[in-house]
Amino acid sequence: MPYPGPANRFRAGRMLAMSTAPTALPRVLSGIQPTADSFHFGNYLGATRQWVALQDEFDPFFFIADLHSITMSHDPKLLAQRTRVAAAQLLAMGIDPERSTVFVQSHVPEHAQLAWVFNSLTSFGEARRMTQFKDKSAKEGEGAASVALFAYPILQAADILLYRPQYVPVGEDQRQHLELTRDLAQRFNHRYKKTFKLPEPYILKETAKISDLQQPEKKMSKSASSPTGIVELLDDPKVSAKKIRSAVTDSDTEVRFDETAKPGVSNLLTIYSALTGRSIEDLEKAYDGKGYGDFKGDLADVVVEFVTPFRDRTKALLDDPAELDGILKRGAERAREVAARTLADVYDRVGFLKA
Ligand code: TYM
């Protein structure tokens, strides 16, 4: 599938690096929470698809953010299994553990350790300005939210800066957390000694925000979308097809990209274009005069074709949990080598007595 990958300038950099030290490739890092039984199309098109593509040009670190997933109420009986399912999905979509370091956040204790240091650099007002905290605490009220939910973006900054990556591939909803990350890196460098380089968000404009199928003005979300608004990669393909066919459009009949006037149709065009590599203009032409029924029916077929083999691959990987756990164990070992070096620098610069 044609894919808008990173600029070709990195290819030259890679060849140079390969001829001397392959580990000198610039790093990318990202994480995903194991808070649901499946990733959805927002996660995939907004973030993890870019992870797969970036493996070619970078030294990648990808992790399952289980520490983040306990910041809101969770079911301990489901967490370990969801963590494995998340790992299996990453492998099934093409993350290659030979090229990428894939691990579970809680297996690398340096994340929580660095987060504590960053807590000391973050003001209360700064943390309170995070819109995700406002959104996620709105339902129960700020007083009932956990301190961990409040500190969540600070842990995210630690996740990122431990590995000193160049890029962090995420969806638009993570942009503010990346700004905080850059601020904390700068503050640490300024207060102590230059330790961190500033990571850049890697957000693809076209798929930065995939919308809810029923409420296209909102993002597709594990926690906020109704079941009919969200398409899960591991759901029964027939159910996913039905959700696409019943997606909210508008009273018009024209298949045209216009996010303000036609947010539902535009969202479907985005998904269609991302899954097939066909341009939006090409799709608009192809459905000129045909109406929404044909358009949604064809997109439903595209989705089924994509999710069916993906589900099979994920299931096959889950049939061998020992193999999966081995990959995650080796990933955590590799991640710790990098993370421990960064944490040692930080502890030294903060002034902690050496153990
Ligand atoms: P999470 O688990 O909510 O989502 C994982 C990734 O999916 C993206 N995403 C979307 N992109 C486009 N449209 C949507 N509707 C949509 N919904 C989700 C998210 O932007 C994200 O990239 N805090 C992070 C996890 C995390 C992390 C990190 C990410 C923890 N530490 C360090 C990067 C670096 C989160 O909750 O993502």
**Residue 197 and residue 195: Cα distance in Å, rounded?**
7
Are the CB atoms for 266 and 257 separated by under 8 Å? yes
Query: Above 80 in pLDDT, residue 15?
Result: no
Atom of ligand 1 nearest to the CA of 153: 23
Query: Above 80 in pLDDT, residue 241?
Result: yes
Amino acid at 172: E
3-class secondary-structure state, position 90: helix
Query: Above 80 in pLDDT, residue 12?
Result: no
Atom of ligand 1 nearest to the CA of 152: 23
- pLDDT (average), residues 9-30: 58
Q: Backbone phi, then psi, for 291, in 5-degree steps?
A: 85, 170
**Residue 182 and residue 252: Cα distance in Å, rounded?**
44
**Residue 137 and residue 156: Cα distance in Å, rounded?**
18
**pLDDT value of position 224:** 77
**pLDDT value of position 255:** 97
Write the pLDDT tens digit of every residue in 154-187: 999 999 999 999 999 999 999 999 999 999 999 9
Mutate to test the pocket of ligand 1, among 101, 104, 170 (most ligand atoms within 8 A of CB): 170
DSSP conformation class of 211: B
At residue 115 the predicted structure's pLDDT band, cuts being 50, 70 and 90, is very high
State the catalytic residue, choosing from 136, 243, 262, 296: 136
Query: Above 70 in pLDDT, residue 264?
Result: yes
- DSSP per position, 250-266: -SS-----BTTTBHHHH
**Residue 104 and residue 339: Cα distance in Å, rounded?**
13
**pLDDT value of position 223:** 83
Please name which of 108, 100, 115 lies closest in space to residue 181, comparing C-alpha atoms. Answer: 115
Atom of ligand 1 nearest to the CA of 172: 20
List all residues whose CB is within 6 A of at least one atom of ligand 1.
30-33, 42-43, 46-47, 65, 68, 156, 159-160, 168, 170-171, 173-174, 208-210, 219-221
- Ligand 1 centre and the CA of 64: distance in Å? 11
Helices (H), ranges, 129-197: 131-138, 147-161, 175-191
State the catalytic residue, choosing from 193, 197, 205, 219: 219
DSSP conformation class of 45: I
Are the CB atoms for 353 and 127 separated by under 8 Å? no
**pLDDT value of position 26:** 96
Query: Above 70 in pLDDT, residue 49?
Result: yes
Are the CB atoms for 92 and 317 separated by under 8 Å? yes
Residue 246: both structure tokens together = 């019943």
**pLDDT value of position 23:** 57
Q: Please list, in sequence order, all residues whose beta carbon lies within 8 angstroms of the beta carbon of residue 143, skipping any fewer than 6 positions away.
A: none
Q: Is 134 among the catalytic positions? A: no
Are the CB atoms for 266 and 258 separated by under 8 Å? yes
Q: Cα angle vertex 44, ends 38, 49, to 5°? A: 135
Of all protein residues, the one whose alpha carbon is nearest to atom 18 of ligand 1 is 43
**Residue 127 and residue 180: Cα distance in Å, rounded?**
9
Higher-scoring residue by pLDDT: 116, 142: 116
Q: What is the largest CA-CA distance in the chain?
A: 73
Q: Is 222 among the catalytic positions? A: yes
Q: Judging by beta carbons within 10 Å of its beta carbon (0-12, 13-18, 19+), is residue 257 exposed, middle or buried?
A: middle
- Ligand 1 centre and the CA of 46: distance in Å? 8
- Ligand 1 centre and the CA of 290: distance in Å? 36
Q: Is the dihedral of CA 288, 294, 297, 298 positive or negative?
A: negative
Of the chain, the percentage scoring pLDDT greater than 70 comes to 94
Q: Is 219 among the catalytic positions? A: yes
- Ligand 1 centre and the CA of 174: distance in Å? 6
